[in-house]
Amino acid sequence: MSTVTSFDNRPTSVEPKREGGPARWLKAHLGLLPTFAALLIFLAMIVYGEIAYGRILQASTVSNLLINNAHLVILAVGLTFVILTGGIDLSVGAVIAFSSVAGVLLTNAGWNPWFVIVLMVLIGSLFGLISGVLIQFFDVQPFIATLAMMFLARGLASMLSTTPERLADESPMRGLATQFKLVDGPRVNDLVITPGVIIAVVVVLVAVFLLHRTRFGRTVYAIGGSEQSSTLMGLPVVSTKLWVYVISGTLAGVAAVVYTARLGSAQNITGIGWELDAIAATVIGGTLLMGGAGFVLGSVVGALVLGLMNVLITRDGGIRPETTTIITGGILLVFVLLQRAVASRRRE
Amino acid sequence: MTETQSAPARTAARLLRTPYFWGIVAIALLLLVNVLRDPGYLAITVNPANGNLVGNLVDILRAAAPILMIAVGMCLVIATGGIDLSVGSIMVVSGAVAMEFLNAAAAPDSVLAALAAFLLAVAFGAILGAVNGILVSVVGLQPFISTLVILLAGRGLAKVITEGQNTAASNEPFRWIANGYLVGLPVVLLFAVLIVIAVGLLVRRSALGLMIEAIGMDPKAARLAGIKRRSLLMTVYIASGILAGIAGVFATASVMTVDVSRTGYQLELDAILAVVIGGTSLAGGKFNLGGTVVGALLIATLDKTVVFLGISSSATPAFKAIVIVVLCLLQSERVRQLFRQRRAPGTFVPSKETIPA
C-alpha cells in the first residue's frame, strides 16, 4: 500500500504530517479513497468467496484469474491514460477483433508468426494514431472519433471473416499461452503463469513508471486537470494527447495478441462490449471520467474485481448468467457514488 | 466582394454552412449509388389491392422510424451537455415487457391488450429514463456513467424479464403498429413523423428548447437566470426514455419477437451519430432537431444501401465509419480553412466572374 502512496505526486496533494494520524493522512489523500475502496471491495469479495464457496484463495484460482483477465488488465491500463486526459476510447474492443482476425489469417497464410505479432500490435497503434489525429488536428470529439474507429475496425474484421478462425496447433503464437508451473501444488492446485500474464505485468509496470515518474505522465495528469492551463504553461499538449491514443491503441493490439494466444482462435465478434468493461474497470479503480485523477494500479484492481465477480458468479451456480450485467452495473454505480461523495467532500 | 455576390450564390453559401448540408448530400449520393445499381430503385408504386405505397424509399423511411425516435430524445439530452447511452437497452426492456405481456395475455385480436402492452412498454422506458434523470440531476453523476450503468443493467433486466428467452407473441393490433398501413402510408412512419413534429413544436414553440440550450451552454449562467436545472434534466432524460420505449415497440412489433441480445443493440451509437451528423455538438448547447432527422435518415439509408449492394450486413459499420470520418472532416475548421486557402489567391470574386471560363 505504501507503493500506492508514493505515486501520489499530483501538485495538489499536501505532504502528510507525521503527527497527524490516519484521519489526517486520509484527508490529505482523499483522491486515493476510491482506489482504496476498490481494493477493499476486492478483498471483501475474496473473503466472501472463500467463506461461501471455498477454494478461492488457492493457487489455481488465482492463476486462472490472472490468466483469464490479462487482456482486460492491458485494456484498462490503456484506457487509464486516455481517461486521465479527459478523453475516451471506444475503439479498443473492435480493434482487438480486427487485429486478432488479421493476425490469425496471416499466420495461417504462412507468414512469420513473430512478424505477425508485431504487426498485430502495430495495427492497434495505427487505429490509435488515426483517432488521435482526428481528435487533435480536426477537432473531432474523442467520443465520435473513437466511435468511428470502433465501427471501422469492426467492419473490417467482418470483411476479413465472419466465422471463427482457428490458429494452427503448432503456431508459435500459442506459445504465449504456455503454462509454466511456478509452484507445483497438490493435484491440480499449481501456481501457473503464462507469458501473457507476464506481458500484462510488464505493461502495468511500464505504465506506472510512465505516469508517475516521467514528464510525459505529469503532462497527462495536467491535461486532465485543465487543458487550457497546460497549454498556457507550455506543456506539449498536442503531442501528449496524440501519444495517449496511440498508447491505448497499441495496448489494444497487445491485448489482441495475448487473448488470441490464449483462445487459439479469433472471430469478428470478439471483444464486443470490452471497451465498456475496460471503462468500468478504470472507473471502479478510482479514475475520474473527467480526467486528472486516478491510478493505473487502481484500474488493475478494477479489472480484477470484474474478473473475480465472474468467478464468484460461476462458483455460485445459483445466480443466473443473465444477471451478470446487472451486477456489473450495480458495482459500477456503487463506485461512482463513492467517487461522487469524495469529490463533494473535497470541494468543501 | 460581398456586393458582387448574386442572390443564389448567397443562398448556396448559406446552405453550405448549414451543419446538416453534407448529411443531405450523403443521402443523395447513397441513393444515386443505388439508382446506378438498379435504375428503378427510387420508384414508388401503389399496391392496387389495398392502395398502399410500396417501394425502397418507403422501406428506408420505415426502417428509420425507431432510430428517429431515439435520435430525437438523444438530441435533447446532448443539448443539455449530457449523453444517453442507455437507449438501446431501454428499447430491449420495453420490447421484452411488451412481448411478455402479450404472450401472457394470449389475446391475438384484442386492441385493448395491444394498447396495454404499448403503455406498459412506454412506462418502463419512462421509469428507466427517470432513473437516469435522478442519477444525473439529483445525485449529480456524470451522464456518461449513469447511463452506462443503465446500459449494462438494462440488457440484463430484459434477459431476466424473458428468462433469457427470445419471447414471441401474436397480437394483430400490436403488429399493425409496425407493419400496418393508414391512408396508404405505413403507420409506423406516420407515428414517427407525428412524434417528431410534436417534440419539435413543444421545444421550439415554448421556452423549453431555449432553457435546454441554456443549461447545455453554461449551467451556472442558466441557474442565475432562474432555470430549474434539476426538473429540466429529469424531463429530458424521461423524454429520452419514453422515446426509446416507443422505439422498442417499433422494433419488436415488426417481427413480434424480442431478441434479448440483439434488439436495440448498439443503437445508442447510431442515435448519437445521427445527432452529430445533424450538426449538434456533443459539448451541448445549441441543438438542431431538423439536422437530427437528416442524420437518422442518413443512417437508415446507409443500412439499407449496404444490404442492397449485397455486402454482408456485418460489414456495415465500416461504411458508417467512412461516413462519420468524412462528415467530421468536412465540418472541421482546419479542412474548411484548407479549402479557403486554395480558393483565396487571385480569385477575389468567387461567384459570377469565375464561372464564364
CA distance B74 to B284: 11
Question: pLDDT value at position A336?
Answer: 81
Question: pLDDT value at position B353?
Answer: 40
Query: Measured between beta carbons, which residues in chain B are less than 8 angstroms from residue A320?
Result: 160, 164
Contact of A200 with A73, CB cutoff 8 Å: yes
Residue B269 lies in a domain: yes
ipTM value, please give it. Answer: 0.81
CA distance A179 to A166: 20
Cβ of B325 and A320 within 8 Å? no
Closest to B274 measured CA to CA, from B323, B215, B238: B323
Cβ of A151 and B320 within 8 Å? yes
Cβ of B156 and A324 within 8 Å? yes
Beta bridge partners of residue B181, listed in sequence order: B186
Question: pLDDT value at position A265?
Answer: 87
CA distance B354 to B127: 60
Which value, in Å, is the radius of gyration of the alpha carbons in chain A? Answer: 20
Handedness of CA B330, B334, B338, B339 (dihedral sign): positive
Residue B158 lies in a domain: yes
CA distance A300 to A296: 6
The count of structural domains within chain B is 1
Give percent of chain B above pLDDT 90.
39
CA distance A124 to A119: 9
Selected residue of A135, A282, A322 to mutate for chain B interface (largest B Cβ count, 10 A):
A322
Cβ of A280 and B83 within 8 Å? no
Residue of B nearest to A268 (CA): B314
Low-confidence residues in chain B, pLDDT < 50: 1-2, 347-357
Quick count: other Cβ atoms within 10 Å of Cβ A76? 36
CA distance A278 to A293: 17
Contact of A48 with A175, CB cutoff 8 Å: no
Cβ-proximal residues to B55 (8 Å cutoff; 6+ apart), any chain? B42, B43, B44, B45
Chain A and chain B share a number of CB contacts under 8 A equal to 137
DSSP 8-state secondary structure symbol assigned to residue B257: B
Query: Measured between beta carbons, which residues in chain B are less than 8 angstroms from residue A98?
Result: none
CA distance A74 to A80: 10
The C-alpha cell that represents B347 in the structure block: 480569385
What are the helix (H) ranges across chain A? 2-7, 21-28, 33-52, 59-84, 92-108, 113-138, 142-160, 195-213, 215-225, 227-232, 237-263, 274-284, 296-316, 324-347
Domains for chain A: give ranges and CATH numbers.
61-347 (1.10.3470)
Q: How far is CA A203 from CA A56, A267, B128, in A?
A: 26, 25, 39
Range of the structural domain that residue B129 is part of: 62-332
Give the helix/strand (H/E) hosting B190. helix B187-205
Q: What is the CATH number of the domain that holds B205?
A: 1.10.3470
Question: pLDDT value at position B223?
Answer: 87
Q: How far is CA B145 from CA A17, A326, B116, B135, in A?
A: 35, 14, 32, 9
Residue B177 lies in a domain: yes
How far is the alpha carbon of A151 from chain B, nearest alpha carbon, in Å? 4
DSSP 8-state secondary structure symbol assigned to residue A180: E
Residue type, B204: R
Residue B255 lies in a domain: yes
B55 φ, ψ to 5°? 160, 170
Cβ of B148 and A155 within 8 Å? no
Query: Measured between beta carbons, which residues in chain B are less than 8 angstroms from residue A313?
Result: none
Contact of A148 with A245, CB cutoff 8 Å: no
Which value, in Å, is the radius of gyration of the alpha carbons in chain B? Answer: 22
Task: Write the pLDDT tens digit of every residue in B169-202.
Answer: 888 889 888 888 888 788 899 999 999 999 999 9
Residue B352 lies in a domain: no
Contact of A308 with A45, CB cutoff 8 Å: yes
Cβ of B334 and A139 within 8 Å? yes
Residue B131 lies in a domain: yes
- pLDDT tens for the 348 residues of chain A, in order: 344 444 444 444 444 445 556 667 666 676 677 788 888 888 988 898 888 887 777 888 888 899 999 999 999 999 999 999 999 999 999 999 999 999 999 998 888 889 999 999 999 999 999 999 999 988 888 988 999 999 999 999 999 988 888 887 777 778 777 788 777 777 777 788 889 999 999 999 999 999 999 999 999 999 998 888 999 999 999 999 999 999 999 999 999 999 999 988 888 888 888 998 999 999 888 888 888 888 899 999 999 999 998 888 888 777 777 788 888 888 888 888 877 776 666 655
